[in-house]
Amino acid sequence: MDLKNYFETLCSPFTENKQLINNMWNELETRYSEKGRYYHNLFHLENMFHELEAVKVNISDFKAIAFSVFYHDIIYDATSKSNEEKSAARAEKRLGELHINNNKITIISQQILATKSHQKSDHEDTNYLLDADLSVLGKDFKTYLEYTQNIRKEYSIYPDFLYKPGRKKVLRHFLELESIFKTEYFKEKYEVQAKENIAAELELL
């Protein structure tokens, strides 16, 4: 998938300023290609779009969700607890420069903030975004293991004795949820495998 082309097409109805769109894309590409991003990178965005394409007909505002995908991890620092808030604020600023409707910007901002706690939303589009974000949990175990290794690399600043208890807490949180996935489509597709993967990872930690 050509993310640059996709982003330009997404922005073009809102402005004729090609330079502005180009600057916005360059910022996204630079951020998602930062040193140390082994998982929260452009490939993660591609995977999310791939997952969402399959349920496009169920999504009421695909443009909003597409902007949410692009901006949800624009700020990512493994040592920070406010990445989602910072990413949402950056999205609000940039999309304001595009003169996107304020209501739409608010929805996008709320969707990005929802990726922090991954709780089921009253807004069904948000649930699709959350499920696409976590879809890697339900992939085959080899793909899942690669994901866990990449996450570990992102947190390489922390030694095992700090990392492992934190990771276990995150994984147990997922298993304690009524269901990891919020939409019927993703639940059916990935829920069983995701729980098996997480249980297997917990055994390895």
- Whole-number Å distance between alpha carbons of 11 and 26: 14
pLDDT at 68: 98
Residue type at position 79: T
The residues, any chain, with a CB within 8 Å of residue 79's CB and separated by 6 or more, are 157
Residue 43, domain extent: 3-204
Is 33 within 8 Å of 45 (Cβ atoms)?
no
Structural domain tally of the chain? 1
Asked whether the beta carbons of 49 and 66 are under 8 A apart, the reply is: yes
**Quick one: pLDDT at residue 11?**
98
**Three-point CA angle 151, 116, 126, nearest 5°:** 115
pLDDT tens-place string over residues 121-178: 999 999 999 999 999 999 999 999 999 999 999 999 999 999 999 999 999 999 998 8
What is the CATH classification number for the domain harbouring 30?
Answer: 1.10.1300.10
Confidence of residue 51 (pLDDT cuts 50, 70, 90): very high
DSSP 8-state symbol, 99 = T
Q: Give the phi and the psi of residue 156 in degrees, each rounded to 5.
A: -65, -20
- Condensed to tens digits (0 to 9), the pLDDT of residues 62-107 reads 999 999 999 999 999 999 999 999 999 999 999 999 999 999 999 9
